[in-house]
Amino acid sequence: MTDIRFDRYYRYDELTAILQGWADEYPTLCRLESMGQSFEGRDIWVLLLTNFDTGPDTEKPAYWADGNIHATETSASTAALYLINKLLTEYGRDERITYALDSRAFYVVPRLNPDGAEWALADIPKFIRSSTRPYPRTDELDGLREEDVDGDGRILQMRLRDPNGNWKTHPDDPRLMIPRAPDDLPGGEYYRLLPEGRIKNYDGVIIKMAPPLQGLDLNRQFPVFWEPNQQGAGHYPGSEPEPGAAMKFIADHPNITGSVSFHTFSGVYLRPPTKGADDTLPTQDLFTYKKLGKLAEEMTGYPAVSVFHDFKYDPKEFIKGTFDDWMYEYLGVYSWTCEIWSIQRQAGIEEYKYIDWFREHPAEDDLKIMQWNDDVLDGKGYIDWYEFDHPQLGQVELGGWHTFETWRNPPYQLLEKEVAPLADYAITSCLVSPKLEWYEVRHTAVGSVHTIRAVVHNTGWLPTNVTEQATKMKVVRELELDIKLPAGAKLLSGELKTMRGQLKGRDHKWQYAVWSDDSTTERAKVEWVVEAEAGTEVAITAVHPRAGAIRQTITL
């Protein structure tokens, strides 16, 4: 039995062993493949999940889930592993999961950036944004760089007494640091707050933040609105092996109908568009995206919002080259970025605006979060300030939030509870995909002349094209119905290959019964007239890249 727990993180070798264990234990339900190698040469694993007894994954609609492209967002790996474990262990027991794996496939990449996570999970951790490759330069610039200076396995904050500091202690809780008010007079007890770290070429006076040596952001590497001046963009789209491997895999799997990328943090599902307002989307896509978002909210408690409207770092800028944008804008599938975990919401702060909150918020919010830390974590998430003799700065204090396991990721004891509903939503997201099935196949004969009628239908909720965007970008082929005749049989009417456009699903239908257009827009019919001896076998096939391939042999 593959032994897995969801209250801890796994280093690369352990993660690999777990994935291989699953592949060995469930050979009919999953296969492990390497999509390529990371910068440091680690295999980037993708687990292909489907019931292989009902057909190969490539002939079924599929759903993509990845995690941990950002180095410290290790709970994203946990979410992906939880999804895999649920699919494998509940197959045959849970009706929805059984149907999902019988009819569809999942491609799960638990750790898209294995190198960066390995640094974050090291005994003496190193926190970087993404790839471990130095970029854009290979030598370190002067300044302060985050580091576990006292070697206790945590990267905290440094507190320095400074008469001109911007921070002071909270009057009700001396552990807590709050910003100095604009009119706080000089002479008070003020502090400067810096990340725990070391300063390269410190002159004893000037402290500047060094740009990170590992300046890549692998989630700015995708070929959508890509710009070299976007921070972390890299040399060209897909120039880094990790996003390059994902791009290649996805391009090779046109059966992918949707995606989720697990990240942290904020407790929110983010969706495109990033570049423009919601009204720039095709109308039906926006309606459907919002319906999917509502399902996400109901199942997970995370709000589902647009990046453009609700999740911007700079109101005048938009982020270029992100995975979810690429998936929707260019490939035309509904994609989500799931930002796991919100410490604010845990502390009872409901109405907060993700990024804006960090710019400004009431000090009561900090007290609430501290209270939550005392109640739920026995105060262990916040390290009370302790003296430390810093090699360059002399006497400083270390302390503050143990951010890795309080802000950036859920605390270990809450990890499983946090990621469990995200797996349910991923399964739902897969189940809504288009799905091609035979509606009716029959033949009639007059002498040696046979009329074959095949009707297929889309039994999924989404249309076969998935989005209007996919049609607009011309990335999705039409439904194709083929007949294959043996030697001696002759096609009197009909085509060997028939293209039948796209089939609708149910997502566009109105919920008011009187006005609902309930016509059979999800069906397509084709007829062939064949001259052949009785007993001749003909093969018919219906193929749609996003809705699957189905086959049947008819004995005339």
Contact residues: Zn ion, CB under 5 A: 70, 73, 263
> Judged by CB, which is closer to Zn ion: 103, or 131?
131
> Judged by CB, which is closer to Zn ion: 226, or 388?
226
CB of 375 to Zn ion, least distance (A): 28
SS3 481: strand
* 355: its two tokens: 């990024």
Paired sense of beta strands 256-264 and 62-67, if any: parallel
CB of 4 to Zn ion, least distance (A): 23
CB of 336 to Zn ion, least distance (A): 13
CB of 50 to Zn ion, least distance (A): 28
SS3 118: helix
- Determine how many CB atoms are found less than 10 A away from the CB of residue 235: 12
> Judged by CB, which is closer to Zn ion: 38, or 467?
38
Phi and psi at residue 4, to the nearest 5°: -140, 140
> Judged by CB, which is closer to Zn ion: 60, or 111?
111
Which residues are 127's β-sheet partners? none
CA nearest to 261, candidates 270, 251, 253: 270
> Judged by CB, which is closer to Zn ion: 113, or 502?
113
Residue type, 212: P
DSSP secondary structure code for residue 523 in this structure: E
CB of 354 to Zn ion, least distance (A): 13
> Judged by CB, which is closer to Zn ion: 73, or 522?
73
Alpha helices in 136-226 (DSSP H): none
CB of 70 to Zn ion, least distance (A): 4
Measure the CA–CA gap between 469 and 473, rounded to whole angstroms. 6
Q: Hey, what's the torsion of the CAs at 533, 535, 536, 539, to 10 degrees?
A: 150
How many Cα atoms within 13 Å fall on the side-chain side of residue 123?
A: 1
Q: Which distant-in-sequence residues (6+ apart) come within 8 Å of 316 by Cβ? A: none
Query: By Cβ distance, which residue is nearest to Zn ion?
Result: 263
CB of 243 to Zn ion, least distance (A): 13
Kindly report the three-state secondary structure assignment for every residue of 312-348: CCCCCCCCCCCHHHHHHHHCCCEEEEEEECCHHHHCC
> Judged by CB, which is closer to Zn ion: 155, or 454?
155
DSSP secondary structure code for residue 238 in this structure: T
CB of 415 to Zn ion, least distance (A): 17
> Judged by CB, which is closer to Zn ion: 76, or 476?
76
